[in-house]
Amino acid sequence: MKPYLCFILMFFSAIAYAQNENPNYDSQLAEKYGADDYGMKKFIFVILKTGSNTSTDTAFTNKCFAGHMANINKLVKDQKLLVAGPMKKNENKVRGIFILDTPTIETAKELLLGDLAVTEKIFEPEYYEWYGSAALAAYLEASDKIWKVSP
């Protein structure tokens, strides 16, 4: 009886394990995006809030926002910035978000040293580790093909 019980347990364990395997799994794609066994990876999620610099000097703020956009474009080109966008006016003074493809908050801070709006304290970034789908990087491949007019 004992051998049959072991066989039955092994059989059902194998079935249960097999049901968790993804039939669409593409190991090359998973490797390309740095996915773990769950298709996930760690990113840094950045919330940009209104900073302490409330300058009303238009030339200065224009220069800061030009530097902000230049850094965004550089980070996209370097495939470090996966998602970025402004927020509508809100009571929490959240101005925008970034999702950075970098493993640590320290490296995320280094990437934002090139952002004049951050270094001049127009924006104050808050950094969070975020565990999300590694396929998020595929967003960059499509995003440049769907806009018709530059903002």
Which pLDDT tens digits describe the chain residue by residue (151 residues)? 555 555 555 555 555 555 578 888 999 999 999 999 999 999 999 999 999 999 999 999 999 999 999 999 999 999 999 999 999 999 999 999 999 999 999 999 999 999 999 999 999 999 999 999 999 988 877 877 888 887 6
- Give the total residue count for the chain: 151
Domains annotated on the chain, with CATH? 34-143 (3.30.70.1060)
Minimal CA–CA distance to 137: which of 70, 49, 86, 75? 75
**Angle value at C-alpha 64, between 63 and 69, nearest 5 degrees:** 100
pTM over 0.95: no
Largest CA distance in the chain: 86
Q: What tokens does 38 get? A: 């769950």
